[in-house]
């Protein structure tokens, strides 16, 4: 899927109140280059893409967030607007079998609920982009999770740290439940959060400490598509270009959030010390 560069270029000029000549001067390109791009007569070069989207971001045009608001207004009842941060681009049909097996819920297609959430996971990658998607939820079986013991144990299993308990009846039941659906809605567990879960698995903290530590680092929900039936009900709406300026901005936001989350975790460990059960008490 190509970027909607022609429309974006016109939108940026409209918001800034610039003519093609004026914008061309700001960007250091020829006016005819912008004219042909707006008419869709040529595909923009990588250099032009970067210049235009960086210029927009530097001038406080948050194009990605604006589009999120506009797409939300057009989503039909029974549908959900979702976002996928891609390290490069989605090639071919959406598949549930292209991701790693040691993700939060194993192999599947992963998406998020907001533009900012999606970009935060791919802002380290130079060729990354964000996809807007329309998901039709009808006639599909969904499994929902919240930050609790079942979610923690399920994540730990798929991340490969529960091997010694893999045959335990409690774990077997949890994994069976996670596989008996078309898609999953669950809190995101990034590497920071997984380190906390691993502290619980290693017997360093209780389930209550772990739960409250994880709640302190809330990253929002993810949608995990585990069946092809569910994957076929995703419609790609648009692909958004991420300039270096925007990626840098969200990297800084992520770093600030990580620092705040780490401090909250320290407080949660102290506040809930001694409360709850350790892993060997739960999986006797």
Same domain, 127 and 40: no
Residue 225 lies in a domain: yes
Q: What is the largest CA-CA distance in the chain?
A: 73
Say whether 226 sits in a helix, a strand or coil. Answer: coil
Question: Does 66 map to a domain?
Answer: no
Q: Quick one: 153 and 14 in the same domain?
A: no
276 inside domain: yes
> What CA–CA distances, in Å, run from 39 to 5, 32, 46?
10, 11, 18
**Residue 91 burial (C-beta neighbours within 10 Å; 0-12, 13-18, 19+):** exposed
User: Residue 73 has which token pair?
Assistant: 């207004």
Q: Judge whether 74 lies within some domain.
A: no
Q: Does residue 206 sit in the same domain as residue 146?
A: yes
Residues 126 and 213 in one domain: yes
**What are the strands, taking DSSP E only, across 66-138?**
79-86, 109-112, 129-136
Structural domain harbouring 263: 82-282
Written as tens digits, the pLDDT of the chain (284 aa) is 899 999 999 999 999 999 999 999 999 999 999 999 999 888 899 999 999 999 999 999 999 999 999 999 999 999 999 999 999 889 888 988 877 778 899 999 999 999 998 998 899 999 999 999 999 999 999 999 998 999 999 999 999 988 888 889 999 999 999 999 999 999 987 777 888 888 889 888 899 988 888 876 667 899 999 999 999 999 999 999 999 999 999 988 888 777 777 787 788 888 888 899 999 999 88
Identify the three-state secondary structure at position 225: strand
pLDDT, residue 20, reads 94
Would you call 8 helix, strand, or coil by DSSP? helix
Cβ distance 220 to 118 under 8 Å?
no
Cβ–Cβ under 8 Å, residues 122 and 148: no
pLDDT at 216: 67
Residues 63-72 pLDDT 10s = 999 999 999 9
Give dist(CA 193, CA 2) in Å, integer.
Answer: 34
pLDDT of residue 12: 95
Q: What is the SS3 assignment for 33-73? A: HHHHHHCCCCCCCHHHHHHHHHHHHHCCCCHHHHHHHHHHH
Q: What pLDDT, on a 0 to 100 scale, did the predictor assign at position 263? A: 80
- Tell me the H-state helices in the chain: 5-16, 20-27, 31-38, 46-58, 63-74, 115-120, 149-158, 169-179, 191-201, 207-216, 228-231, 244-271, 279-282
Query: Do 110 and 250 have their domain in common?
Result: yes
Query: Is residue 160 located within the same domain as residue 197?
Result: yes
Q: CB neighbours of 93 closer than 8 A, spacing ≥ 6?
A: 231
Compute the distance between CA of residue 68 and CA of residue 146 in angstroms, rounded to an integer. 25
Instruction: Indicate whether 158 and 244 sit together in one domain.
Output: yes
Burial 227-266 (b: 16+ CB within 10 A, else e): beebbebbeebbbbbbbeebbeebeeebeeeeeebeebbe
15 and 144: one domain? no
Cβ atoms < 10 Å from Cβ of 80: 16
pTM of the model: 0.90
| Pair (96, 235) in one structural domain | yes
Residues 40, 43: Cα–Cα separation, whole Å: 7
């Amino acid at each position: 899927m190509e970027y909607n560069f022609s429309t974006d270029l016109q939108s940026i000029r409209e918001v800034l109140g610039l003519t093609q000549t004026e914008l061309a001067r700001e960007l250091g390109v020829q006016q005819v280059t912008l004219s042909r791009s707006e008419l869709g007569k040529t595909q923009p070069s990588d250099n032009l893409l970067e210049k235009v989207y960086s210029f927009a971001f530097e001038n406080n045009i948050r194009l990605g967030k604006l589009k999120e608001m506009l797409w939300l207004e057009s989503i039909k009842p029974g549908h959900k607007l979702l976002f996928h941060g891609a390290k490069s681009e989605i090639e071919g049909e959406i598949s549930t079998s292209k991701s790693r097996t040691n993700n939060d819920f194993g192999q599947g297609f992963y998406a998020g609920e907001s533009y900012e959430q999606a970009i935060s996971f791919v802002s380290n990658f130079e060729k990354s982009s964000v996809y807007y998607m329309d998901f039709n939820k009808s006639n599909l079986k969904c499994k929902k999770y919240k930050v609790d013991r079942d979610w923690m144990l399920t994540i730990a299993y798929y991340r490969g740290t529960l091997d010694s308990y893999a045959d335990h009846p409690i774990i077997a039941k949890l994994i069976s439940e996670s596989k008996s659906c078309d898609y999953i809605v669950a809190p995101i567990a990034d590497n920071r959060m997984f380190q906390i879960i691993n502290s619980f698995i290693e017997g360093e903290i209780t389930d209550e400490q772990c739960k409250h530590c994880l709640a302190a680092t809330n990253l929002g929900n993810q949608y995990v598509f585990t069946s092809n039936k569910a994957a076929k009900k995703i419609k790609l709406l648009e692909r958004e270009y991420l300039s270096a300026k925007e990626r840098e901005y969200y990297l800084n936001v992520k770093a600030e959030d990580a620092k705040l989350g780490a401090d909250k975790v320290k407080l949660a460990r102290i506040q809930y010390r001694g409360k709850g059960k350790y892993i060997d008490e739960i999986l006797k």
